[in-house]
């Protein structure tokens, strides 16, 4: 499988990773080799196979009866009752650029572009 | 191996000994032969002595440990009943959030990070009376099979210091193997408990997906991550598991399935258990010396009345690409939160984007970056169907292999790893070759089933071999029962 | 820098577009048909956030309502708020959607400082509900606008770009809003004019308020709207290239932005240009839409199923519970008002504008007032005064029972219609009951024939000249004499009785 330098740059940009020139070429070659290996999956016909995203999905594990579609209320939902975590000052104090005051804030370089 | 400590010999067994067990500590505490504080102090002395050459611990938490120990000693003084893991010195993999103790996930990007809360499994261990000695080294964000991907240097295998302990929970496995902790928690996404357990020669268990809450586990791959125990004995694995298992309202993917007393069921008979032996796990690539030990282990179980049965698991060969596509895709998203805004490292930049790129470029190590790149690629427009979706479909087929197998057999036996502990630096050049060594463990990870790696003798006199016992979803009890029988029959020293 | 250069070019392009758009002749515009679809984000009325137990309250001190989950701390996991799910289902049912038996959250991946996890948890390939509709009324006609889908997601935090000493260099982040539950409601491209868009949003808001799914407070951001807009020649079957216009956070902006964008597109096409498929932002100050400066990759959101949450199952039990708490919806209530109370469709429309007003009307009727009379009083007196004072009906000091009492006084003739209005005004100010105001201020009508007769005799006695004139056949002075009686009774005598008594006495000599 061919991975171009542009492919690597595009992925690095999506992932917000600053890469050196040597990382760019190393990762390019390694991604190509790993993805080529992954193409082995194409040997399998999966036309009529459902994808599996979560093992505990209804019917997937078979063991978690509470996930049955009409098993009533136990869908692992949370009741709408507020609880104060009270951690903000602690988190802000340790943040890279936090304003440990009342009110507390996180700061980032000016957002000018969206 | 003796299950009870030689308590009359002093405060603790001699350094390096792994003779303390959960039950032994309890007896010693109750009979006041040792206090929890003395025991803690003794373990810290060992760590101080041994850790410099092992690098198993990244951070120690003596304040918390001694306060936990004093709470246990106070209970004893007042004659109160002791919680199930009273006074048991525990080591915790550094991907588990511990309130007030630095938690780095083995990454530079989290250097100095102190979580404001305990992971659910940690909180349950705490309530059960365990003593938190400290945080153990691991591959960065649990990504690796040798522990060489830690930003804080590799762990050295206690059985041979020039060799890897396996990964990613290498620090936890090494700590238990070296007697620096009685029990330890690790995490297993594609083999990260079972493989280091095998390479260090200690039992390590991966529970069923959903069995133990993931709340407070710094995520690598959410649909695969499990938390599980290491210990010197099967009984102690069971004792830790029954404490940390069970439904947690903070993890929507934790199961309601009831938690039996695993330790109470250990000695039920194993005679007649059908053990599936999949031919695919004994094919090319398996070290012949390991194969011989595993076959001896199977022979031992046959003598105990178990019935080895050949089975087919035809999709095994597809597990590695399936696993690496799914795990890296999820990881690329899970690791997006490390952006220098709220915690951890920030490398300044003139713009927000520059800050992001520099922070993540400098904060993540090479393997983490590689996996983020791979996962981002697999999810990106134009490749999703070919890679990610395809892998999810093959995951269904791999799970199908297990479903069919468990209609024929009660448990499945395989080697844990095709190789024994290799030399540090020996395999770092070729990431794909490193991935391929996960072949026997990633299948069970993808299928969501439970598995344990048990010591199964040594090759070349020192290098431990791991026997993997895999059970169906939520059948940890059955797996542990067989493991206990194997241990009692001397299987660990085959 | 590239961004600055881009900025400069956009500036030029925009200036030209504005000028051209304003000069477009109506007959040219009329050759085109706008095609509009709306995406509406609605904050659900829950006590807590969608995936954690932090308060979802608006207006608290910044970052007060935060926890490991909504700050995206390492290791934290989401758990779906049951109430958020129920409210979303309620909205879906009210919009005639099919609630899918199985839906699923997905991650939408992108980096932004207001997005603590680096992804939004939304729904993608399996939304909560699909294929609904909403009826709008426009130009006296009703029209059905299709709803494509309705799904749940978490809101982003708030970036604060102004107001700090270092705002030239830094942006401050407040995570209170981060993780507040939203539903996104996507309409079909069935809307054909800015006015229809306005009617759609009005009807949608009405339903969401009726069902108490949201408080729909646009100032607080509880209701936000984006539009997909394209134009095509009348008769053309295919859609034109669309733009997405964002930041339409009031009814007025929605109409203005759509008008602007439609004209801009027509102008572009008329001058031989093509429409770029892009996202544009409504610039309130400049009164125009402007392209957002986003990089092309920003659209690769790499959606995939959220592995931290299991699929959502709309269980029969949950659907039954939500149906049980479903109120009568505006359309049904309008129809029933016409049918049961005999009021006009127009009056029914006014009275069902809000659930509170409709409840008020029905309570007034239940307290004994005739429906039509109650309808008149509410529409003329009550709504006029509420409008003037800017009060909500819930805050009105006149409760429905009190209004019914006043109506009864007027109907029984105990106070005149004119007095009734005066009494209403006083009730509105003070909240005192009608009977007491009537008594205290002397509004009660004199019905007693004896008392009225005495007053008439007195007037006849005091006005011998006018009496004589009447008796001589001058009918014109009768009015004067009646006026004198009314004056003597301070307007409280029943005019009917006065008429009769006066004629009888004058005739009797």
Q: Dump pLDDT digits (tens) for B200-241.
A: 999 999 999 999 999 999 999 999 999 999 999 999 999 999
Cis-peptide into B379, omega within 30 deg: no
A37:B209 CB<8 A? no
pLDDT at residue C293, as a whole number: 66
Distance from CA of B162 to the nearest CA of C (A): 33
User: Does C322 reside within a domain?
Assistant: no
Distance from CA of C360 to the nearest CA of B (A): 43
ipTM: 0.95
CB B125 within 8 A of CB B85: yes
> CA–CA separation, B474 vs B483, rounded Å?
16
Start-to-end CA distance of chain C, whole Å, equals 106
> CA–CA separation, C326 vs C173, rounded Å?
38
Q: From the candidates C74, C173, C308, which should be mutated to test the interface with B, based on the most B CB atoms within 10 A? A: C74
Q: Which of residues 3-32 of A touch B (CB under 8 A)?
A: 7-8, 10-12, 14-19, 23, 27, 30-31
C66:A91 CB<8 A? yes
Q: Which of residues 20-59 of A touch C (CB under 8 A)?
A: 53-54, 56-58
Banded pLDDT at B490 (limits 50, 70, 90): very high
Helix, strand, or coil (residue C10): helix
Which residues, including other chains, have CB under 8 Å from residue B234's CB and lie 6 or more apart? B203, B266, B452, B454, B480, B483, B484, B487
Interface contacts A/B by beta carbons within 8 Å: 188
CA C189 to chain centre: 22
CB C159 within 8 A of CB C114: yes
pLDDT at residue B429, as a whole number: 85
User: Does A70 reside within a domain?
Assistant: no
Domain that holds residue A18: 5-43
Q: Both tokens of residue B385?
A: 């169907």
Total domain count, chain A: 1
C75 and C124 co-located in one domain: yes
B357:A17 CB<8 A? yes
**Bridge-based pairing state of the strands B307-311 and B274-278:** parallel
> CA–CA separation, B33 vs B26, rounded Å?
10
Q: What is the pLDDT of residues C402-424, one digit of tens each?
A: 888 888 888 887 887 778 888 88
Residues of C in contact with B223 (CB under 8 A): 307
User: Does A54 reside within a domain?
Assistant: no
Residues of A in contact with C6 (CB under 8 A): none
DSSP C406-447: HHHHHHTTSS-HHHHHHHHHHHHHH---HHHHHHHTT-PPB-
C61:A102 CB<8 A? yes
Nearest-CB residue to A78 (from C79, C168, C316)? C79
* Helices of type H across C138-250: 194-210
Catalytic residue (choose from B93, B135, B293, B458): B93
Distance from CA of B428 to the nearest CA of A (A): 13
B342:C310 CB<8 A? no
Catalytic residue (choose from B107, B146, B150, B168): B168
Q: What is the pLDDT of residues C239-285, one digit of tens each?
A: 999 999 998 888 999 999 999 999 999 999 999 999 999 899 998 88
- Compute how many other C-beta atoms are within 10 angstroms of the C-beta atom of residue C309: 22
Whether B260 shows a pLDDT value over 90: the answer reads yes
CB B260 within 8 A of CB B478: no
Residues of C in contact with B218 (CB under 8 A): 74-75
C453 and C436 co-located in one domain: no
CA distances from B389 to C217, C399, C403 (A): 40, 61, 65
Which residues, including other chains, have CB under 8 Å from residue B266's CB and lie 6 or more apart? B234, B235, B238, B480, B481, B484
Residues of A in contact with C64 (CB under 8 A): 88, 103
Cα angle C128-B334-B204, degrees, rounded to a multiple of 5: 110
Q: Of A52-66, B161-175, C311-325, where does mean pLDDT reach its minimum?
A: A52-66
User: Does A26 reside within a domain?
Assistant: yes
CB B189 within 8 A of CB B303: no
Q: From the candidates B92, B338, B345, B379, which should be mutated to test the interface with C, based on the most C CB atoms within 10 A? A: B379
C20 and C79 co-located in one domain: yes
Residues of A in contact with B374 (CB under 8 A): 31, 34-35
C252 and C343 co-located in one domain: no
C435 and C459 co-located in one domain: no
Domain boundary among C423, C440, C457: C440
- Helical pair C82-94 and C316-324, crossing angle rounded to 10 deg: 70
User: Does A95 reside within a domain?
Assistant: no
Mean pLDDT, chain C, whole residue set: 89
A74 CB-side CA count, 13 A: 15
How large a percentage of chain B has pLDDT more than 90? 92
Distance from CA of C391 to the nearest CA of A (A): 31
Domain that holds residue C260: 2-317
Can you tell me the mean pLDDT for C112-129?
97
Nearest-CB residue to B97 (from C75, C118, C308)? C75
pLDDT at residue B108, as a whole number: 98
Q: Which chains does chain A touch, 3 or more C-beta pairs < 8 A? A: B, C
> CA–CA separation, C178 vs C55, rounded Å?
11
C412 and C462 co-located in one domain: no
C77:B218 CB<8 A? no
B219:C302 CB<8 A? no
Whether B452 shows a pLDDT value over 90: the answer reads yes
Q: Is B168 a catalytic residue?
A: yes
- Helical pair A5-14 and A21-38, crossing angle rounded to 10 deg: 100
CB B414 within 8 A of CB B468: yes
Which residues, including other chains, have CB under 8 Å from residue B41's CB and lie 6 or more apart? none
CA distances from B259 to B210, B234, B239, C180, C296 (A): 12, 17, 12, 34, 51
Q: Both tokens of residue C31?
A: 């050759």
Q: Which residue of A has its CA nearest to C87?
A: A80
CATH of the domain at C478: 1.10.10.410
DSSP B90-141: EEEETTB-BTTB---TT-GGGTT---SS--HHHHHHHHTT-EEEEEE--SGG
C307 has a chain B CB within 8 A of its CB = yes
Banded pLDDT at A74 (limits 50, 70, 90): low
Q: Quick one: which of B261, B337, B333, B273 has its CA closest to B307?
A: B273
Q: Of A61-70, B89-98, B110-119, C257-266, where does mean pLDDT reach its minimum?
A: A61-70
Banded pLDDT at C149 (limits 50, 70, 90): very high
Largest CA distance in chain B: 70
Backbone dihedral angles phi then psi of residue B443, each to the nearest 5 degrees: -60, -50
Sign of CA dihedral B241, B243, B248, B250: negative
CA distances from A19 to B105, B357, B482 (A): 22, 9, 49
Domain boundary among C421, C440, C459: C440
Q: What is the pLDDT of residues C464-484, one digit of tens each?
A: 898 889 888 888 889 899 888
CB B33 within 8 A of CB B4: no
Banded pLDDT at A18 (limits 50, 70, 90): very high
Domain boundary among C266, C293, C317: C317
Q: Which residue of B has its CA nearest to C72?
A: B337
B336:C111 CB<8 A? yes
C259 and C187 co-located in one domain: yes
> CA–CA separation, C208 vs C226, rounded Å?
17
B103 has a chain A CB within 8 A of its CB = no
> CA–CA separation, C187 vs C150, rounded Å?
9
Which residues, including other chains, have CB under 8 Å from residue C16's CB and lie 6 or more apart? none
A64:B210 CB<8 A? yes
Whether B14 shows a pLDDT value over 60: the answer reads no
Can you tell me the mean pLDDT for B100-118?
98
pLDDT at residue C181, as a whole number: 98
pLDDT at residue C15, as a whole number: 38
C79:A14 CB<8 A? no
Nearest-CB residue to C293 (from A16, A78, A113)? A113
Nearest-CB residue to B343 (from A17, A40, A91)? A91
User: Does A25 reside within a domain?
Assistant: yes
Backbone dihedral angles phi then psi of residue B101, each to the nearest 5 degrees: -115, 130
B330:C307 CB<8 A? yes
Sign of CA dihedral B137, B103, B197, B146: negative
Residues of C in contact with A73 (CB under 8 A): 315, 317-318
C7 and C142 co-located in one domain: yes
> CA–CA separation, B295 vs B285, rounded Å?
16
CATH of the domain at A35: 1.10.20
C112:A104 CB<8 A? no
User: Does A82 reside within a domain?
Assistant: no
C75:B251 CB<8 A? no
Cis-peptide into B168, omega within 30 deg: yes
Largest CA distance in chain C: 106
User: Does C6 reside within a domain?
Assistant: yes
Q: Which of residues 84-113 of A touch B (CB under 8 A)?
A: 87, 90-91, 94-98, 106, 108-113
B103:C304 CB<8 A? no
Sign of CA dihedral C234, C240, C243, C249: positive
pLDDT at residue C17, as a whole number: 43
Q: Is B93 a catalytic residue?
A: yes
Indicate the fold that domain B7-244 takes in CATH: Amidase signature (AS) enzymes (3.90.1300)
C446 has a chain B CB within 8 A of its CB = no
Q: Which residue of A has its CA nearest to C314?
A: A69
Residues of C in contact with A110 (CB under 8 A): 161, 167-171
- Helical pair C251-270 and C194-210, crossing angle rounded to 10 deg: 150
Distance from CA of C181 to the nearest CA of B (A): 17
Residues of C in contact with A67 (CB under 8 A): 310, 313
Total domain count, chain C: 3
B447:A55 CB<8 A? yes
> CA–CA separation, B137 vs B124, rounded Å?
22
> CA–CA separation, A95 vs B470, rounded Å?
43
C350 CB-side CA count, 13 A: 15
Q: What is the pLDDT of residues C345-394, one digit of tens each?
A: 999 999 999 999 999 999 999 988 888 988 988 998 899 988 888 888 88
Nearest-CB residue to B116 (from C68, C79, C80)? C68
pTM: 0.90
Tokens 């309008």 correspond to what residue? C334
C360 and C307 co-located in one domain: no
Q: Quick one: which of C124, C120, C134, C136 has its CA closest to C100?
A: C124
Beta bridge partners of B413: B469
C59 and C154 co-located in one domain: yes
C112:A110 CB<8 A? no
Beta bridge partners of C171: A108
> CA–CA separation, B357 vs A17, rounded Å?
5
**Bridge-based pairing state of the strands C158-160 and C170-174:** antiparallel
């Amino acid at each position: 499988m061919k991975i171009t330098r542009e492919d690597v740059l595009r992925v690095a940009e999506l992932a917000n990773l600053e890469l050196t020139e040597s990382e760019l070429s190393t990762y390019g070659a390694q991604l190509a080799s790993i993805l080529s290996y992954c193409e082995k999956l194409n040997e399998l016909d999966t036309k009529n196979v459902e994808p599996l995203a979560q093992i505990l999905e209804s019917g997937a594990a078979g063991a978690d009866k509470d996930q049955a579609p009409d098993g009533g209320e136990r869908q692992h939902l949370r009741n709408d009752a507020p609880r104060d975590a009270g951690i903000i000052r602690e988190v802000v104090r340790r943040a890279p650029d936090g304003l440990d005051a009342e009110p507390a804030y996180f700061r980032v370089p000016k957002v000018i572009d969206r | 191996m003796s299950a009870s400590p030689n308590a009359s010999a002093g405060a603790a067994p001699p350094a390096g000994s792994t003779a303390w067990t959960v039950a032994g500590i309890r007896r010693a505490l109750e009979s006041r032969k040792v206090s929890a504080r003395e025991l803690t102090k003794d373990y810290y002395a060992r760590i101080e002595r041994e850790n410099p050459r092992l690098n198993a611990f990244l951070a120690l938490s003596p304040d918390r440990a001694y306060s936990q120990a004093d709470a246990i000693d106070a209970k004893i003084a007042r004659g109160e009943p002791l919680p199930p893991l009273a006074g048991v010195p525990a080591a915790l993999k550094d991907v588990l959030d511990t309130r007030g103790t630095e938690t780095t996930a083995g990454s530079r990007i989290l250097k100095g990070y102190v979580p404001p809360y305990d992971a659910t499994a940690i909180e349950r261990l705490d309530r059960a009376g365990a003593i938190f000695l400290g945080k153990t080294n691991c591959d960065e964000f649990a990504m690796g099979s040798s522990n060489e991907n830690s930003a804080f240097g590799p762990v050295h295998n206690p059985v041979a210091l020039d060799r890897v302990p396996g990964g990613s929970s290498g620090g936890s496995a090494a700590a238990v193997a070296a007697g620096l902790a009685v029990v330890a928690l690790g995490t297993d996404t594609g083999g990260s408990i079972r493989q280091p357990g095998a390479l260090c020669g200690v039992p390590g268990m991966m529970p069923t997906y959903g069995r133990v809450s993931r709340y407070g586990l710094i995520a690598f791959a959410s649909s695969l991550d499990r938390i599980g125990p290491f210990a010197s004995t099967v009984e102690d694995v069971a004792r830790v598991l029954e404490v940390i298992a069970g439904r947690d309202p903070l993890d929507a993917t934790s199961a309601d399935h009831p938690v039996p007393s695993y330790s109470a069921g250990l000695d039920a008979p194993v005679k007649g258990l059908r053990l599936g032996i999949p031919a695919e796990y004994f094919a090319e690539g398996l070290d012949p010396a390991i194969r011989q030990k595993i076959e001896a282990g199977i022979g031992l179980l046959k003598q105990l009345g178990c019935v080895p049965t050949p089975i087919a698991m035809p999709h095994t060969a597809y597990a590695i690409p399936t696993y690496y596509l799914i795990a890296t895709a999820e990881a690329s998203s899970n690791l997006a939160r490390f952006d220098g805004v709220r915690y951890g490292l920030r490398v300044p930049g003139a713009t927000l984007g520059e800050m992001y790129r520099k922070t993540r470029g400098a904060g993540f190590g090479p393997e983490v970056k590689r996996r983020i790149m791979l996962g981002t690629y697999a999810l990106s427009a134009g490749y999703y169907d070919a890679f990610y979706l395809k892998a999810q479909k093959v995951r269904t087929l791999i799970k199908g292999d297990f479903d069919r197998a468990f209609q024929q057999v009660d448990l499945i036996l395989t080697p844990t790893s095709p190789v024994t502990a290799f030399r540090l630096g020996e395999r770092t050049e070729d990431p794909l070759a490193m991935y391929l060594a996960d072949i026997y463990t990633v299948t069970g990870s993808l299928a969501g089933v439970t598995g344990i790696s048990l010591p199964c003798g040594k090759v070349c006199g020192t290098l431990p071999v791991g026997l993997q016992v895999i059970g169906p979803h939520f059948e940890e009890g059955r797996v542990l029962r067989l493991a206990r029988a194997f241990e009692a029959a001397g299987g660990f020293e085959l | 820098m590239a961004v600055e250069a881009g900025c400069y070019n956009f500036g030029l392009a925009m200036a030209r577009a504005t000028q051209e758009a304003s000069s477009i002749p109506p007959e040219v515009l009329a050759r085109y048909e706008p095609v509009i679809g709306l995406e509406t984000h609605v904050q659900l009325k829950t006590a807590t956030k969608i995936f954690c137990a932090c308060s979802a309250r608006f207006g608290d001190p910044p970052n007060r309502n935060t926890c490991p989950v909504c700050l995206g701390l390492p290791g934290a996991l989401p758990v779906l708020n049951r109430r958020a799910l129920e409210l979303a289902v309620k909205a879906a049912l009210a919009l005639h959607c099919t609630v899918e038996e199985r839906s699923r959250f997905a991650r939408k991946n992108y980096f932004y400082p207001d997005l603590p996890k680096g992804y939004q948890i939304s729904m993608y390939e399996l939304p909560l509900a699909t294929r609904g509709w909403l009826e709008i009324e426009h130009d006296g006609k009703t029209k059905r606008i299709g709803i494509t889908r309705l799904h749940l997601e978490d809101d982003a935090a708030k970036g604060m770009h102004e107001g700090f000493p270092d705002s030239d260099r830094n942006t401050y982040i407040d995570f209170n809003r981060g993780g507040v539950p939203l539903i996104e409601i996507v309409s079909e491209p069935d809307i054909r004019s800015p006015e229809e868009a306005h009617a759609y949003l009005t009807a949608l808001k009405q339903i969401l308020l009726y069902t108490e799914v949201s408080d729909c407070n646009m100032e607080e951001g509880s209701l936000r709207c984006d539009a997909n807009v394209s134009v095509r020649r009348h008769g053309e079957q295919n859609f034109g290239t669309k733009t997405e216009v964002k930041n339409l956070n009031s009814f007025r902006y929605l109409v203005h932005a759509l008008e602007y964008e439609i004209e801009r597109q027509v102008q572009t096409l008329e001058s031989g240009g093509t429409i770029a498929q892009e996202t544009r932002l409504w610039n309130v100050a400049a009164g125009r839409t402007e392209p957002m400066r986003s990089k092309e990759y920003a659209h690769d959101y790499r959606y995939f199923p959220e592995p931290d949450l299991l699929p959502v199952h709309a269980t029969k039990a949950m659907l039954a519970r939500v149906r049980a708490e479903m109120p009568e919806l505006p359309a049904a209530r309008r129809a029933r008002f016409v049918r049961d109370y005999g009021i006009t469709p127009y009056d029914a429309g006014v009275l069902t504008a809000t659930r509170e007003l409709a409840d008020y009307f029905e309570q007034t009727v239940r307290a004994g007032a005739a429906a039509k009379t109650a309808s008149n009083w509410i529409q003329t007196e009550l709504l006029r005064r509420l409008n003037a004072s800017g009060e909500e009906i819930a805050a009105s000091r006149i409760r429905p029972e009190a209004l019914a009492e006043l109506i009864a006084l007027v109907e029984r003739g105990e106070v005149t219609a004119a007095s009734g209005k005066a009494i209403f005004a006083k009730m509105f100010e003070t909240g005192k009951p009608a009977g007491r105001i009537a008594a205290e201020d002397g509004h009660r009508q004199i019905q007693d024939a004896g008392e009225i007769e005495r007053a008439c005799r007195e007037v006849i006695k005091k006005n011998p000249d006018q009496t004589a004139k009447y008796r001589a056949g001058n009918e014109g002075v009768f009015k004067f004499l009646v006026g004198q009686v009314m004056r003597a009774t301070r307007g409280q005598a029943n005019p009917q009785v006065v008429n009769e008594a006066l004629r009888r006495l004058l005739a009797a000599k």
